Chains A and B, each alone.
Chain A
């Protein structure tokens, strides 16, 4: 297969993806980067502003608070989603009556519209007629009753709980698929070697589903950075006093409430660079199976 001529086949295979991606994702983003050097209200002519928008972002305490929240959010969501989803998957991978029902039930929140989730959870957390506080006082835990969305100490976690609840079903399905694919004879072999449940988990299951874990972790992390706008917006929109602000809510507010597109784009670019660094670090660390040659 050694030819002097460059083999065009692999490039042709990639062409469509690269072209589509460049046109509709990279090009608009490049326009966004360009916009970040201008003052622009979205209507009138853009005014060149040099690096000033970036300076404003660096001086903006709320943005850095939002970034900090985003990191807390990303870490917690990633750990919780993956641990719980893996645990549920390890139960639901087994063959028992009603398994499809359970799988479907847990998947249901994934399919729900944010508008329903917003009303429902804000009302569950409601102090006057909410289910959570009624439940807590019914079981005698009155001291745990809190202003779930108004207390700056807990509001972010109250949102994270909803995010985890919404997406757990999706990650569970991926884990079920991953677990199904682990050959049964490996477990048998491990049992012969005298491995207990934890050892089997450590030495058989986890290495075998590594690629599934990588997908799930990557999805949760990037989701927390670039796709959690809806859920935070409907729950608190960043309040009280910006204690639940995440990067995306602040960016969207700057763009569509304050009509400051230049600064919003500068924030986007900074966020992008941060995700870029962390995304690739994560991939480097976790993808050791990628030595295919």
Chain B
């Protein structure tokens, strides 16, 4: 009889659900923001799980302090990994959840969320807070002249590191020029079991990093303008600069600065290879610095990406807003005051130090908030100032980035000529324009209606709360 019961239950349940499906479809339109509890209201922040447990604790502590001070409750919804966030945000919108702040990457906003009208325009809302950011450190959160998110994490850049202990042992100097890099590489290769540069070449997405550096030089340090003109359809990617940049990446490989091993090595493998002393140098992003520093029992030095094109200087790709705080466009304007008060609270130097200080902060994005002061950090900071270009992969769509990765690996492996590679990237651009109606300057073609959907109806006066 148990089975009969079970069967009947299941059937009844299923039928009930089916019926429920029809009737309740209109019930889920609870207005976000109306769910306020207590007198002070509530702010909900959606973010992926913090980098380290200490960061989570710090968020909770600061949120509790904020509630004590203002009476506004803060719900911190940490969920999933970084790449899950866009989907989670979309679901929250469908389900009518209250989300006042979402932590996303600026790259996501410039590639999708922004163009889709997913986040609010913060230009006026956040203007009182801009002084808290170091000079230039918020620039790339402006897309089309509007501010879409407040960066709230370390900035990052590409970096070249070397094993200083090994270099000293072998009597080598950190390379300053391309020729020195080649000769250092040659010396390292002659030592048994050591390769010159290790790079995470198995990760397709990593190759555009190296390309960015060479492209910066072949465009005469005008890579961002060149890419914008390419993305607006004004010029083709098949240009001397693009082709030459492919050639230069291949040169790394041809002159044995990069070896076959890098093509088979992923992010973790790169860290392991370098930390084990099996590579003399490394080209990576600063986000790996913390792990590298912890894993290497030798001294690390940094050097500048070599100048490979006469008349240009070495420029590092960099970006601010890996993690940035945005306000979803479906968040209620009624709650904006509370939301902005929380953003004001967490960007205060002491609170920001509490939260962000739990991770490695190489660059001082918010004034006075940083954790590192070693030589590498100092070198990187001096390098960034006036010597950097925005990450190109935050400018172009993911399809173009993917095509570029494919093209670079094909060029290195001899499957494609540099000329064909540039054409391949251009084709990917043409395809994405057709298939997704891609427009680089989406903000130029927006209708008034689209602007209204992301423009806050009232601007709370934050200055009264600021210390």
Chain A residues with CB under 8 Å of chain B are: 12-13, 15-16, 19-20, 23, 39, 41-44, 47, 53, 56, 119, 122-123, 125-129, 147-150, 152, 236-242, 253, 256-260, 263
Our pick among B116, B201, B273, B276 for the contact of A41 (Cβ within 8 Å) is B116
Q: Is the CB of B264 within 8 A of A150?
A: yes
| Chain B residues in 8 Å Cβ range of A56 | 431, 434-435
From A44, A126, A148, A253, B116 is in contact (CB under 8 Å) with A44
Tell me how far the C-beta of B280 lies from the nearest C-beta in chain A, rounded to whole angstroms: 13
**B417 near A: Cβ within 8 Å?**
no
Please give the number of chain B residues whose Cβ is less than 8 angstroms from any Cβ of chain A in the complex: 54
| Cα–Cα distance between A147 and B409 once the two chains are bound (Å) | 13
Residues of B contacting A148 with CB < 8 Å? Answer: 264
B242 CB to nearest chain A CB (Å)? 18
Are A240 and B409 interface neighbours, CB within 8 A? yes
Which of A15, A39, A47, A260 contacts B14, CB < 8 Å?
A15
A236 CA to B116 CA, complexed, in Å = 30
Main secondary structure of the interface of A (DSSP, over half): loop
CB neighbours (8 Å) of A44 from chain B are 115-118
Partner of A240 from the list B115, B204, B268 (CB cut-off 8 Å) is: B204
Does B195 sit within 8 A of A, measured CB to CB? yes
- Which 9 A/B pairs are nearest by Cβ-Cβ distance? A43-B116, A150-B263, A19-B14, A44-B116, A16-B10, A127-B261, A239-B204, A150-B264, A241-B406
Contact B117 A128 (CB under 8 A): no
Within 8 Å CB of B2, what residues of A? none
Q: Mark B54-67, 1 if CB is under 8 A from A, else 0.
A: 00000000000000
A126-B269, A259-B112 known; 11 new pairs, CB 8 Å cut-off, are A16-B14, A19-B14, A20-B10, A23-B14, A127-B265, A147-B263, A240-B202, A240-B409, A241-B409, A241-B413, A256-B87
Q: Which positions 246-273 of chain B face chain A at CB distance < 8 Å?
A: 260-261, 263-266, 268-269, 272-273
Cβ-defined partner of B273 (8 Å) among A23, A53, A128, A149: A128
Tell me whether A256 and B264 are in contact (CB under 8 A): no
CB distance from A244 to the nearest CB of B (A): 11
In the complex, A269 Cα to B409 Cα: how many Å?
31
Chain A CB within 8 A of B17 CB: yes
**B160-189 with Cβ < 8 A to chain A:** none
Q: Is there contact, CB below 8 Å, between B90 and A42?
A: yes
Say yes or no: B261 contacts A149, CB within 8 Å. Answer: no
Closest to B436 in A: A260
B201 touches A150 (CB 8 A): yes
Interface segment, one of B229-237, B354-362, B396-404: B396-404
Q: Is the CB of A43 within 8 A of B118?
A: yes
A-B contacts, 11 of them at CB < 8 A, read A39-B437, A42-B87, A47-B437, A56-B434, A123-B272, A126-B265, A128-B279, A150-B201, A241-B413, A258-B399, A259-B398
A149 in contact with B406 (CB, 8 Å): no
Closest residue on chain A to residue B416 by CB atoms: A241
Whether B116 pairs with A127 at a CB distance below 8 angstroms is no
Bound-state CA distance A162–B27 (Å) is 48
Whose C-beta in chain A lies nearest to the C-beta of B263?
Answer: A150
Chain B residues with CB below 8 A from A122, complex form:
202, 266, 268-269
**Once bound together, how far apart are the Cα atoms of A125 and B402, in whole Å?**
24
Chain B residues, Cβ within 8 Å of A12: 7, 11
- A19 vs B11: C-alpha distance in the bound complex, in angstroms? 8
Contact A238 B204 (CB under 8 A): yes
B265 near A128 with CB under 8 A, answer yes
How far is it, in angstroms, between the C-alpha of A127 and the C-alpha of B261 when the chains are bound? 6
How far apart are the CA atoms of A242 and B117 in the complex, in Å?
Answer: 32
A128 surroundings in chain B (CB, below 8 A): 195, 198, 261, 265, 269, 273, 276, 278-279
Asked if A16 and B11 make an inter-chain contact with CB atoms under 8 angstroms apart, the answer reads yes
- Across the two chains, which residue of chain A brings its CB closest to B399? A258
User: Which residue among A12, A125, A127, A237 has the maximum number of chain B CB atoms within 10 Å of its CB?
Assistant: A127
Contacts of A240 in B (CB 8 A): 202, 204, 263, 409, 413
- Inter-subunit contact B264/A119 (CB<8 Å): no
| Docked-complex contact B14 and A127, CB < 8 angstroms | no
The residue among B11, B90, B406, B431 with the most chain A CB atoms within 10 A of its own CB is B406
Q: Which of B7, B278, B397 contacts A129 (CB 8 A)?
A: B278
Give chain A residues whose Cβ lies under 8 Å from the Cβ of B402. 253, 257-258
With A and B bound together, what is the CA distance between A175 and B83 in angstroms? 39
Q: A23-B18, A42-B86 are in contact. Are A242 and B264 (CB under 8 A)?
A: no
Taking CB atoms, residues of chain A closer than 8 Å to B397 are 258
